[in-house]
A and B are shown apart, each in its own frame.
Chain A
Amino acid sequence: MQGENDSGQTDFLQPSDSEIHAWMSKAFDMASDALENGEVPVGCLMVYNNEIIGKGRNEVNETKNATRHAEMVALDQVLDWCHCREKDPKVVCGQTVLYVTVEPCIMCAAALRLLHIPFVVYGCRNERFGGCGSVLDVSSDDLPHTGTSFKCISGYRAEEAVEMLKTFYKQENPNAPKPKVRK
């Protein structure tokens, strides 16, 4: 690790096209599984050394915690994985790539920074909450106290990812609050 600068390290980690294709196919399989089960169609996996060490699906409804996005769940698994193997999370995360069908939201983008994930590959943009350029650019903005910035590769099967989201939101989420009428 010594003597390697930031960009050198992330270039080294940049996934090849065939890796992107393989892992994103898995992420899309997860997303369509979720959709079939009436869940938010986001597939998300974290890959370290060619191994999936974290996988997530949205758990907002069962935990009643609106922060339980797929990425947050997957990051928990990564931390557990490190804990079980007595590995330093900072070292492992620093060499882990996130594959996700939808651009991470502002919160998740900040969490990825805080854990020093260097690379994110995603499908479609997240126009409502996106933190990698769509609403804010948390991934690359100058935030010296918020971990390390990360690189993104975007647009992989984007239309398909958007279609899944549209299908899901058409079914109208019964757990979402009604628009405020009072006041």
Chain B
Amino acid sequence: MEPQAKRKKEMDGFDVECWNILPVLSDEQSQDTELLSAYAAPIIEKKQTSRLMKELSLVYPLPGLHHIKRVRASNDKSSSHPLEVIVCLVRDMQEATNGKGVALADLLGSQSFDFSGLGEPFLVKIPATPPLTRPQFEKARKHWPTSFHEDKLITSALRGQLFTAAQKAKILEYMTVAVQAAKSGQEMGMNTVGAVIVDPESEQIVAVSHDCKNSSHPLHHAVMVCIDLVAYGQGGGAYNYDKYPACQFSSQESLRNSFKAVSAKESSQPYICTGYDLYVTREPCVMCAMALVHSRINRVFYGTAFADGALGTKYKIHCEKDLNHRFEVFKGVMLNTCEALCKK
């Protein structure tokens, strides 16, 4: 075996398979923050700072920009002035300026403003919206300092540190079941996609499915079958999957018996997929993604992306603001294995 291939083989273990599980965040969370043009000016007399801040915020209040810190330390450490202040947004200017040669008098002249202590203005870019994630914050503050209310969970998720080793082992275990289901489906001539729905509280597998659309029903994608199998376990269900031995479900009864600690749950029937997690080898299509919204899924873990996928690629249905249910999505679970399935 060549050394390269050998190393690859060794890396195909646990670490690599789970190492790049990443959250699929909304566009607002993942795109670069929009920037606005503004005029800033050096504060030459430091003792004027608080007066200048107060008066500037009366003349130019910067509405909707509460995240912007009005004053920053000068970027250039050797500069003669230690502080700089935002005067106004370019778009708030009384008269259009032709870009260069703007003086304080142009910005503040008509306001009977005492601008002693301020130096001549210069153009800066400031972030238009508050940063939502640490990467956005790091980028934004290179332009101008902002406040940042950090969501620690998102930060650690983006670093791939959200899950403990034990949780990763579980994620890997469930996805392995989905991969096996995909292979069983493939043997029956189906698309190689597998899915598993899990109750994370009891750690029980509720349903396992694979794609069945290549036989009689073109809409029987793995996720649709899995959702219907969960319904079966709850005494409902719309189809019969006897032809597919790898498509299975656990009845609500057996789930309860095997996990006594969920006694609190026993009193109330679970509503479809509320509280359940889905593991699927390939990113769901639009139909399947919306089916998961209707079913109130808790979280989705998928392996490889899909060109028309609706949980990150074409749409982000899981964080669509207009919809009544949102959920977390993680991608990249057993990426290599899942990618290889799609190539079959």
Chain A residues near B (Cβ < 8 Å):
59, 62-68, 72, 75-76, 79, 83, 89, 105-107, 109-111, 113-115, 128-129, 131, 135-136, 138, 141, 143-146, 175-177
Contact = CB atoms under 8 A, between A and B. Distances in A.
A136 B315 contact: yes
Given A65-B237, A67-B227, A145 B308 contact: yes
B296 A177 contact: yes
A79 B273 CA distance: 27
Contact of B286 (A64, A72, A138, A176): A138
A108 B322 CA distance: 17
Contacts of B224: 67
Interface in B230-248: 231, 234-238
3 closest A-B pairs (Cβ-Cβ)?
A: A64-B236, A107-B290, A110-B287
A68 B232 CA distance: 13
Nearest to B307: A145
Contacts of A68: 238
B238 A110 contact: no
Given A62-B236, A136-B315, A146 B218 contact: no
A157 to B, nearest CB: 24
B308 A146 contact: yes
Contacts of B237: 63-65
Instruction: Tell which of A59, A66, A113, A177 has the most Cβ of chain B within 10 Å.
Output: A66
12 contacts: A65-B238, A66-B291, A66-B294, A79-B217, A83-B216, A110-B285, A110-B286, A114-B219, A115-B218, A128-B323, A131-B290, A177-B274
Contacts of B274: 177
Given A67-B295, A76-B217, 17 more contacts: A63-B236, A63-B237, A64-B237, A64-B272, A66-B227, A105-B290, A106-B286, A106-B317, A107-B287, A107-B290, A114-B287, A128-B324, A136-B286, A138-B286, A143-B286, A146-B285, A146-B308
A66 B308 CA distance: 23
A65 B272 contact: yes
